[in-house]
Every structure is written in structure tokens, then in C-alpha cells.
């Protein structure tokens, strides 16, 4: 039995590291974040990193390499460092869970293969993992590097550790606007892709219409990528404020433009997800007020056979 487990482990790791070798590195001004001293005290920062693309009227807005800030390390480094799990143990756990009853929290089920995008302190992912009792079918991602999370969200490291202990794969440096090209994620078809409160950042002196276009570009490119990553009956969930300026983003129109349809919209109450904290992006450990909000569920258009 020991020889079989060793063989399985070797095969899985060989395939895993071959995929990493093919994955392009991503440049960052803070690549050294991943070398942080783990004993360093948490430091709260309330600064907003510069946006790489501040001119929303330029043709460059349509570039698929759209970036928001420069605090991410290389994706492939994070894959290796954050997910040192025993492949044989993961296979065994999945087999044990195969016969377990489904567990639900609101519209999410333990049997669904999920991708969570744009996580802040990973508290939403942890909430789902606790409700399911396991996270072997979950992949939780952030645009931010591990070092950035360490400095800015005091509970991020604890949450990430809990997710990994429950079998979740945690990845950093994942850009929602080009994730379909990722060397690992691009090969998976998910039942649910979840993006809570997408936001392209703040520019205090930027005109409102220009801000709106920047946010719409983020969501449009996210939809374009997510569409390629769901299975035939999969859904893309975007939780979004449902009043004022946020309504003008027109999520339904953006989704339709890339071939997605709105299946349902339901009120969102963060108290339905115990432990979830709605963190501001781009640094700081404060929570933002998210009422009123809705979860918008999008799916592929059904194909009618002739």
C-alpha cells in the first residue's frame, strides 16, 4: 500500500510541477512580499496603491492585461508555497466525502465545485468551508499577494490556514480579468464562480462617468473569462450593491454582451454567512456597509437542438 501511495504522489506532483513550468511569471514591484518574516507583527495600512491605468478614456482600457495595482507576486510561486498538500491524503478525503450527505448554506452546496474570486481576508471562503465541513471542492483566490494580505488583514493568515487544513486550494495573484488563461484554473470547469462586490478601486478626482466605465470594464472582462470556466449548467454569481451609482453599472447588460443570461437575482444579507467580513480592497482592515445588495446569478444561454 505504501508503494502505491508513493507512486500516486509522484505522478500527481510531476504533473503539477510540469504545469508550473509552463505558467508565465507575473512582474511585481513587491515580489519580495512572499519572503516576509512570518513572525513580523501585523501592520495596518490605509493607503491606496496606484492604479496602473488611470486614463479610462484610452484604448488601453480594452487590453485584457488590465491591472488595478502592483502588489501581487508571481502566481506560480504562490501555488507552490500555499498548497503543499499530500495528494494521496486529498484523494482519500474526497473518497470519504463522496458518500457524505450534501450540506447547504443559502444557495451554495458542498457538492458544487467552486471558484471564489477577489477574496479579501478569505472570510467568505472560510464561512462556506465551515458550513460544508470540508473545502476539497473549493478554490479560493485573491488578486493580492500573500505578503500584502499579511500586512493589511489581521485575520487573513488564520483564515487561509483553516482553508488549507480543510482541503481548499488557495491561490494568490489571480487576476479576474484573465484567469481563463491561468495554467491551472483554465483547465477546470466549475459549477459556481463567485465574485463578491467587484470594484476597480478609488480615484477621488476622477469623474463619475469615467469611474463607472472602469468598473464596467473589470466586470465585463471577468464575465468573459468566467464564461469559459463554468460547465454547461454552471452559474456565475456576482454580489453587488443594488442602489444609486452601483445600479448604473448594468450587470445584466454587461453579461449579455458576452453571451450570459441573468437567471435570478436574490437579496444578499451578510448575516446569512456567519463570520463573513466585507473588507475594503487595496489595503486597510475596515468593513464596508453592504446594504442593500443582491446576488445576481448568471448562466449560459440554453442551446435548443434542431
Per-residue pLDDT tens digits for 259-297: 999 999 999 998 999 999 988 776 678 787 788 999 999
Tens-digit pLDDT profile for residues 177-199: 999 999 999 999 999 999 999 99
Which pLDDT score, from 0 to 100, does residue 305 have?
Answer: 56
Judge whether residue 170 has pLDDT over 50: yes
Residue 158 to residues 89, 146, 172, 193, Cα–Cα distance (Å): 22, 12, 15, 23
Give 16 or 270, the one with higher predicted confidence: 270
Judge whether residue 83 has pLDDT over 70: no
Which pLDDT score, from 0 to 100, does residue 92 have?
Answer: 52
Judge whether residue 9 has pLDDT over 70: no
Percentage of the chain modeled with pLDDT above 70: 65
Mean pLDDT of the chain: 77
Which pLDDT score, from 0 to 100, does residue 205 have?
Answer: 84
Which pLDDT score, from 0 to 100, does residue 108 have?
Answer: 98
Query: Residues 208-234: what's their mean pLDDT?
Result: 96
Calpha distance 221→255 (Å, rounded):
10
Calpha distance 204→210 (Å, rounded):
11
Calpha distance 127→133 (Å, rounded):
10
Give 65 or 200, the one with higher predicted confidence: 200
Amino acid at each position: 500500500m505504501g508503494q502505491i501511495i508513493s507512486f500516486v504522489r509522484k505522478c500527481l506532483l510531476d504533473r503539477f510541477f510540469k504545469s508550473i513550468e509552463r505558467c508565465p511569471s507575473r512582474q511585481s514591484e513587491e515580489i519580495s512580499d512572499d519572503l516576509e518574516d512570518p513572525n513580523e507583527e501585523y501592520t495596518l495600512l490605509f493607503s491606496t496603491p496606484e492604479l496602473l491605468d488611470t486614463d479610462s478614456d484610452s484604448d488601453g482600457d480594452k487590453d485584457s492585461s488590465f491591472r488595478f495595482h502592483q502588489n501581487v507576486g508571481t502566481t506560480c510561486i504562490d501555488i507552490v508555497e500555499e498548497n503543499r498538500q499530500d495528494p494521496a491524503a486529498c484523494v482519500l478525503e474526497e473518497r470519504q466525502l463522496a458518500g457524505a450527505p450534501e450540506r447547504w448554506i443559502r444557495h451554495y452546496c458542498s457538492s458544487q465545485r467552486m471558484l471564489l474570486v477577489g477574496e479579501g481576508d478569505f472570510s467568505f471562503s472560510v464561512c462556506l468551508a465551515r458550513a460544508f465541513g470540508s473545502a476539497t471542492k473549493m478554490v479560493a483566490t485573491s488578486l493580492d499577494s500573500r505578503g500584502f494580505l499579511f500586512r493589511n488583514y489581521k485575520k487573513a493568515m488564520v483564515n487561509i490556514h483553516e482553508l488549507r487544513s480543510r482541503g481548499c486550494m488557495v491561490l494568490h495573484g489571480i487576476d479576474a480579468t484573465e484567469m481563463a488563461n491561468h495554467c491551472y484554473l483554465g483547465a477546470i470547469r466549475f459549477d459556481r464562480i463567485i465574485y463578491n462586490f467587484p470594484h476597480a478601486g478609488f480615484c477621488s478626482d476622477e469623474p463619475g462617468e469615467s469611474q463607472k466605465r472602469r468598473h464596467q470594464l473589470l466586470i465585463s472582462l471577468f464575465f468573459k473569462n468566467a464564461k469559459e470556466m463554468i460547465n454547461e449548467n454552471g452559474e456565475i454569481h456576482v454580489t453587488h450593491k443594488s442602489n444609486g451609482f452601483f445600479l448604473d453599472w448594468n450587470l445584466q447588460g454587461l453579461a449579455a454582451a458576452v453571451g450570459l443570461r441573468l437567471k435570478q437575482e436574490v437579496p444578499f444579507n451578510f448575516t446569512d454567512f456567519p463570520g463573513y467580513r466585507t473588507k475594503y480592497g487595496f489595503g486597510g482592515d475596515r468593513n464596508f456597509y453592504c446594504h442593500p445588495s443582491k446576488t445576481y446569478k448568471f448562466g449560459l444561454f440554453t442551446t435548443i437542438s434542431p
